[in-house]
Structures are given as C-alpha cells and as structure tokens.
Chains A and B, each alone.
Chain A
C-alpha cells in the first residue's frame, strides 16, 4: 500500500516538475499564428504560408535586404537591364547546394534549369507541371507576370534572360517576392518520374537557410539548418514553428519559455509585454494603409469639395487612440513611410469641422445629407476594428449635420459588392507586396483599376494616371520619386480618400534571441538569428 502511495507521488512529481524547459540551446521555437496552405510559395498568397516556406526554405534571384525594402543579389550575383528596359539578364551564383533531405539527395548544384523550371511552371499552361496541386498561381497572375513576361531564356548554365512585353520598373522588386522562389528541377523531375509530382508542394527542397524536416497540420513544423547554405550555415541548429492560433495563448507560451518568438500579439497585451523584463518588443510601421474611399460615381461624392469636407470632418487622432490604441500612426500619404519614395506631404488635412461645414455649404449642402459608410466585417492588419471606426466617423459626421448609416456584409460579399461599385463610401485598406510605390498607386488609384473595381473610389484623373504610368516605366529612382510626389499633390486636392492610418507591427521575443530583424513586409525570417545563453 505504501509502495503504491510512493509510486503515485513519484508520478505526480514527474508531472508537476516535468520537463517544462524547452528545447536545447540551438533550437528556436516560434509561436506562429496558423498552418501553411502549402510549402510551395508559388501556389499561395498567404503570409503564413510564405513564413513557413519561401522565407526559411527558398531563395530568389534577387532578394530584399533583411529588414529593408532594398533589393540585393540572391541566387543571381548581378543583373543587366537593356536600354529599352525590356530584357533582364541574370548572372547566377555558382556552387549553390539544394537541401539534401531524407526524401531527396541532389546530384548537382543549382543552375539555370531550376530558374527556367520555377518560372515556366507558373507561366506555361501547356507544361505538365502547370496543373499540379490545382495550378492556381495567384501572385504570379495578380502581379501581372503572365502578361508581362514574354519569354524566359536559358543563355547558358549560369545566365538567364527574362524578356518583357513592356518596360516595368517594379519588375525587380516583384522578382524578390515569395512567388519568385527557385525550386529544384532535379527534384521535380524525380517526383514526376515517380508519379507523385504533388509531393513537391508538400515536401519542399530549396536552397535556403533551413531544410524542411516534418509538418503536422495545426501542430508544428520542424526545420533544421542547411549545412551547405551558400551564405554560411545558420547558428540555429533547429527551428520549430509551434502553431498556436490564439494570441493570448501565444503570449502565455512566450512567458513560460515554450516559445522564444511569437507572431501577431494582441494590441492590448503590448503594454504588459513591454513591462516584462524577459521580453523584448520590436516595432515597425507596417507596409499598409487604411483608408476611407468615396465612390465618385455617386453624388454628392462626385464633387471634390464634398470629399475635401470629409477629410476635414474626421478626427483621425481620435480614431488612432481608440481603434489602434497606440499601435498605429496617422496616414497623410497613400504610401506608408517605409517605402523609399515616401516624404512627409506639405499639405495635410487637419481636423477642422468648421472648415468642413464651409466646404459643404459651398457645395450646396449646408443642410447636411444622409449617406452610407461600409464597414468591413473582419479584422485586417491595417484596421483592427472597422465597425468601431465607422461609429467614430459617424459621430464626427453628425457634428457637421450628416446622418451616416453603417452598412456591412460578409467579407467576400463586401469585396464583391464594393468592386461592383454598390457602395457610397467604404472602409478598406491595402498591404504592400514588394516595397515599390507603384504597388499602392496602380492597383488602388489608376484608371485601369477603376475599370476593374479595385479602385474603390472609381476616381479616374488623367493627369494623375499619366504621372503614375510614367513612374512605372521610368528606371531612374530619383525621377520616379518626383513623379509620385506630383501625383500625391493631385490626390490630396481631389481627395478620393481619407487616408486614415498605417498600423504599427510588433514582434515580441525573449531577450536571449539575438539578430532578429523585423521584416517591413510583415513576414518573419530566422536567417541570422542565434540564441545567447
């Protein structure tokens, strides 16, 4: 009986003192927010998927310098651009090794065939690979690569030429995006031969800093350092993504040391995190803009004066204080300050209800009017609570005699109806993909975007459009900067939007994590990270 009691006590002790301290010193555990959709970044548009695949496993010909939007050489050592801006020749790095894993051992180094394969899978509908795993190459098509690229030509084993249909300044930035990751043709061929091509997208092989080891949906992803990594082996031996959906639980895991870095903290937890001596909180303005757009096809928003009045009527500081709770900054420009062409605008709208009333009177609306504000039903990185934001706007508008009704729909319906122009005014936002200003101006404010409905204000100003079109083909960055500034002056004057805020992104981690850099695109990279004792 006594022996039994001892055994029970022993088991209990094992339980409560059980090995709570995590992983060995060279293993970093990252509490991520969800499961990846695939391990092939060509097939997805989700940041969670990119974090788990392209950002740890793969490289691209050109890459963003970690922590910046600056383009640096990746698998291409250098590149030439033809005078007419139509031909890009990439000179490839030699002796780059692909991962050698339990399921694939490469017999050769990376070369031009891999680049050719990676792009042709996404662009050539006749390729047998095109339809594998559903064949939905979202980003490749969304960034217009299917129309932009005329041909991809292998000049020799270490030179590749990409020919464009028209000059395109953001092309290089786009080439640094996740969907342009380079996959192994040799691995692809071996899988096709074995009759299991879809394995390529489940069990990845890349040239990046970490090799894929194991994945269990909704539980974890295991990686280990790539010993032959061309930039040098990582200090971390192992990397684990502990998939933890709830942000409060991610924080609890960080506090107990179950993970060393956590994704997407709750804005309300930031204060307590900053007070915790074991935790560091890195922060950076997000590459995003939240805006309130006016449908210029619907009166009274066809009048610039009314739109300007809206800009004066809204107290953006109050929105920032209530909705973002210190996790955002006022947006005075279409683009966030992390983009190279950003400059604080000279003329900004400052909260001034009297001025707003005056402008309304000039527009013949002194008695006020009734209008709709569409508010998103979901939380987005650029807008934590659109419904509440709409309520604050509603209050501000009531002060100048406008009765605003808040309208909302299911997210997919909301996007579709607004693309069809059914709204009068709408709250929405945008997160940049490649750090290029064109990635904000063209998809959101061009005349072409007004045709497709992605330009939710349906505002089409020829002068503005010419300026951003010129900037898109201009190669000189200085000249592009000037063109965008001129375009912003017209934008401010015409006021198709109220630019509301750029959210600030936070990245909490334990103090023993060294070398972690925040990515302006909102992703996470563990290359260059180490753990101190």
Chain B
C-alpha cells in the first residue's frame, strides 16, 4: 500500500511540471495581450505599454519568465492577478470552498440515486423499469446543462416559487466566513434557519451539476452489475440459499462497484473543474468562472496558477481512487 502510494507520488512530479509548462506556454500562444485588453478602446501609449510590460515582467524573454515562474511556484508563490492585483492563491482559497461544497453535494446526490437506480435496472433487466431508467439516464447525459438549469429555474423558482433562483444564501442572513463552506459556517454561527436556507440554495445547482454524473453512474452500475450477476459465484451464492438481498448487495454490488468507483473519481474531477456553466447560471462564486474570466482577460498568473491548483486536485482525487481500489479489491491488496 505504502509502496503504491510512493509510486503514485513520484508520478505526480512530472505531471505537475508538464501542466505548468503547458499552461504557461499555451496561454501565451493564444492571441491577445492582458495590457491591451485592460486598455480597451482607449488604448495605451507605447511608453506606458512598455512600462506596464516591465512592471508585470512580460518584457523578459519567455524562457526567463518561465524559469522565474517555476522558481516562484517552488517557493509557494503562484503570482498576483494582473486584473485584481490579488495573490492567486488567496483568490483560489476564497473561491474553492464554494466549488467543493457544490461538487460534494452533487456527487452525494448522484451516487445515492445513481447506484440504486443502476442496480434496479440490472436486476429488472429488460423490463419497463430497466428501459425507463436507461432512457432517463440517456436524456440526462445528453441534456445541455445551460438549458436544463434555466428550465429548472423557470419552473421551480420563477413559476412555482419553491426554490431560490441563484446565490448561496438569502441576503437577510449575514454569516461570517470561517471555513468558506456555507453549510458549515451557518452551523458554526448557530443559525438553523440560515443552514436550511443554504441547503435550500444548494438544491437546484446540485441537481444540475449532478445530472451528467448521475446518468454515467447509473449506466456504469447497470452494466457492471449485469456482468457480475452472470458470474459463477453469484449462482453459487443463490444455490447456497442466500436471500436475494444478500446476493445482490453483499456479493454482486461490492464487486460491481470497482469500475463505478473509477467513474465516480473521474466525475468528481470533472465536477471540480467543469462546473463553469452551473456556477455562472446560479451565481455560485466558484473557481470555474474565475478561471474562465482569467482566460478571457489573458490574466496569465491566474490561468497558470488556477490550472496548476486544479491539476493538483485532479491528481489527488485520482490517487485517492486508486487507493480505494486497493481497499475494495482484495486481489489488488495482495499484490
């Protein structure tokens, strides 16, 4: 186990270096210049342009800029945003809890519904239930997120008035930021109403964000279960006279979960990085929108630092999944 962990950690180093170099050079290859974009129609004089280039260090040869940046990163400094003049790490730290909170709730939702739905579809194979679950998950998978979110807002918020349209909490609650996780902060503030309100605000964005992972998990669980249910040991378990519940959940599901966990890991990485549309529509102050805006404005330090931090998270999630694999699968554990 420890050996595996060390092996994985060793692989992280070239991964990080690759991501740093790729982001650094790719964003500079893209047409556009942060200073010109900041200046807009008003423009900027040649002297002022040179002055600003020097101030941000963009006047140095690219390779020197890169080595300087690498050195900074190794010293734990990801640079300062060209637009807001705030350290990248500080901005990330402020925005990431919102993304993580939403991703975790969405993933819990997708897993709690997706696994039982997949199991049910597999057990009731080729029945109306199976077809319905498959059809719904296919629709969910192919649903354009933007349209789906606006549809839910129009129905549940604007027409029925059951759900808030956007934001993390109603503005009547002024909750002090302690952890950045609204659910935890409202509990720490001892405000039960605020906690329920924050939970209430999570419902629609979590449903929207969970839609695709839910469909993927359902389909993966179904196919994995079908595979497992064909195995000899399942027939043996049934022959032994075990209850169907025990056969399905104790013997079949545990084995079927291995590919499902891989999918959950991959989907979690996607949720952490790809919640841009959900964050924009629900005015959710997360990192997706932050990086997107930085790309538009060619805010090099934010793009570089943000991508590096996200890459770190993806690597972390995937390493955790690999380790979970070992915990679940005794065969791997013995290796």
Cross-chain contact A244 with B83 (CB below 8 angstroms): no
- Residues of chain B within 8 A of A134, CB atoms compared: 55, 80, 85
Contact B285 A20 (CB under 8 A): no
Identify B91's interface contact among A19, A217, A246, CB under 8 A.
A217
Q: How far is the CB of A75 from chain B (nearest CB, A)?
A: 27
A37 within 8 A of B: yes
Those of A189-228 within 8 Å (CB) of chain B? 198, 201, 214, 216-220, 222
Smallest Cβ-Cβ distance to A40: which chain B residue: B85
Query: Contacting A218 at CB < 8 Å: which of B48, B161, B285?
Result: B285
Across-interface contacts of A431 in B (CB, < 8 A): 41
Query: Residue A38 contacts which of B84, B91, B193, B203 (CB distance < 8 angstroms)?
Result: B84
Q: Are B196 and A43 in contact (CB under 8 A)?
A: no
Tally chain B residues at the interface, Cβ within 8 Å.
Answer: 58
Q: When the two chains form the complex, which single residue of A142, A217, A413, A453 contacts B31, counting CB atoms closer than 8 Å?
A: A413
Hey, what's the 0/1 contact readout for B296-324 against A, CB within 8 Å counting as 1?
00100000000000000000000000000
A428 to B40, CA, bound (A): 11
Q: Quick one: closest A residue to B81, CB to CB?
A: A37
Contact, CB under 8 Å: B85 / A409: no
Query: For window 42-56 of chain A, which residues contact chain B by CB distance below 8 Å?
Result: 43, 45
How many chain A residues touch B (CB < 8 A): the figure is: 62
Query: With A246-B281, A249-B283, A443-B42 known to touch, is A410 a contact of B31 (CB < 8 Å)?
Result: yes
Q: Are B174 and A222 in contact (CB under 8 A)?
A: yes
B153 at the interface (CB under 8 A from A): yes
Contact A245 B289 (CB under 8 A): yes
Measured in the bound complex, the distance between the Cα atoms of B318 and A166 in whole Å is 66
State whether B84 touches A16 (Cβ < 8 A).
no
A428 to B43, CA, bound (A): 13
Name the one of B84, B154, B200, B285 contacting A37, with C-beta atoms under 8 angstroms: B84
In the complex formed, the residue of A with least CB distance to B33 is A412
A218 to B80, CA, bound (A): 18
Query: Is B196 a contact partner of A416 (Cβ separation < 8 A)?
Result: no
Quick one: which of A14, A38, A256, A429 contacts B157, CB cutoff 8 A?
A: A256
- Chain A residues with Cβ under 8 A from B45's Cβ? 452
Docked Cα-Cα span, A242 to B32, in Å, equals 30
Whether B32 pairs with A219 at a CB distance below 8 angstroms is: no
Smallest CB separation, A531 vs chain B (Å): 14
B144–chain A nearest beta-carbon distance, Å: 14
Instruction: Say if the beta carbon of B170 comes within 8 Å of chain A.
Output: yes
Asked if residues B153 and A249 are in contact (CB atoms below 8 Å), the reply is yes
Smallest CB separation, A169 vs chain B (Å): 20
- CB-CB under 8 A from A198, the residues of chain B are 85
B328 on the interface (CB 8 Å rule)? Answer: no
Assess the B161–A29 pair: CB atoms within 8 A. Answer: no
A217 CA to B84 CA in the complex, in Å?
11
Given contacts A15-B196, A37-B84, A411-B32, contact A246 B280 (CB under 8 A): yes
CB neighbours (8 Å) of A235 from chain B are none
Residue of A nearest to B80 (CB): A134
With A and B bound together, what is the CA distance between A233 and B157 in angstroms? Answer: 35
In the assembled complex, A155 has its CB within 8 A of some CB on chain B = no
User: Which A residues between 4 and 63 are near B, CB-CB below 8 angstroms?
Assistant: 11, 14-16, 18-20, 22-24, 27, 29, 37-38, 43, 45
Interface membership of B52, Cβ < 8 A: yes
A481 neighbours in B (Cβ, 8 Å): none
A216's contact among B150, B177, B282, by CB below 8 Å, is which?
A: B177
Given contacts A19-B172, A217-B91, contact A252 B165 (CB under 8 A): yes
For residue B140, CB closer than 8 A to chain A, the reply is: no
Partner of B283, one of A20, A45, A133, A243: A243
With contacts A222-B174, A410-B32 taken as known, whether A20 is within 8 angstroms of B41 at the C-beta atoms is: no
Q: A18-B196, A249-B281 are in contact. Are A45 and B42 (CB under 8 A)?
A: yes
A249 touches B282 (CB 8 A): yes
Q: Tell me which residues from 454 to 477 in chain A have a Cβ below 8 Å from any Cβ of chain B.
A: 454
| Whole-angstrom CA separation of A453 from B39 in the bound complex | 14
A51 to chain B: closest CB distance in Å?
16
CA of A243 to CA of B174, assembled, Å: 16
- The answer to whether A430 has its CB under 8 Å from any CB of chain B is yes
Tell me if B37 is interfacial: C-beta within 8 Å of chain A.
yes
Q: How far is the CB of B92 from chain A (nearest CB, A)?
A: 11
For B38, B165, B286, the residue with the greatest tally of chain A CB atoms inside 10 Å of its CB is B165
Q: Distance (Å) between the CB of B113 and the closest chain A CB?
A: 16
Q: Report the minimum CB–CB distance from B244 to chain A (whole Å).
A: 23
Of listed B48, B162, B172, B280, residue having the most chain A CB within 10 A: B172
Q: Does chain B have a CB within 8 A of A512? A: no
Partner of B95, one of A141, A218, A253: A218
Chain A CB within 8 A of B120 CB: no
Given A15-B200, A45-B38, A413-B31, the answer on whether A253 and B168 have CB atoms closer than 8 Å is no
Which residues does chain A contribute within 8 Å of B80, judged by CB atoms? Answer: 134
**Taking the complex as formed, is B24 at the interface, i.e. its CB lies under 8 A from any CB of chain A?**
no
A19-B193, A218-B285, A415-B40 in contact; A252/B153 too (CB < 8 A)?
yes
Q: Is A498 an interface residue (CB 8 A)?
A: no
B43 lies within 8 A of A453 (CB):
yes
Q: Is A358 an interface residue (CB 8 A)?
A: no
Say yes or no: is B238 at the interface (Cβ < 8 Å to chain A): no
Q: In the complex, what residues of A have CB within 8 A of residue B177's CB?
A: 216
B31–A244 CB distance below 8 A = no
Complex CA gap A529/B94 in Å reads 32
- From B43, B95, B161, B174, A256 is in contact (CB under 8 Å) with B161
Give CA–CA (A350, B39) in the complex, Å. Answer: 35
Q: Which residues of A contact B48 (CB under 8 A)?
A: 141
Is B164 interfacial (CB-CB < 8 Å)?
A: yes
A348 adjacent to chain B (CB < 8 Å):
no
Which B residues from 59 to 74 make CB contacts under 8 A with A? Answer: none
Separation of A412 and B33 alpha carbons in the complex (Å): 6
The answer on a CB contact under 8 Å between B95 and A217 is yes
Which residues of B are interface residues toward A (Cβ below 8 A)? Answer: 30-33, 36-43, 45, 48, 52, 55, 80, 83-85, 91, 94-95, 98, 150, 153-154, 157-158, 161-168, 170-172, 174, 177, 193, 196-197, 199-200, 203, 280-286, 289-290, 298
Q: Beyond A253-B165, A256-B157, A411-B32: 16 further Cβ-contacts under 8 Å?
A: A11-B196, A18-B196, A37-B84, A38-B85, A136-B52, A142-B42, A218-B283, A219-B168, A253-B166, A256-B158, A258-B164, A410-B30, A412-B33, A413-B31, A416-B36, A429-B41
The 10 tightest CB contacts between A and B, nearest first, are A218-B285, A219-B285, A412-B36, A410-B31, A412-B32, A16-B162, A134-B85, A244-B283, A412-B37, A252-B165
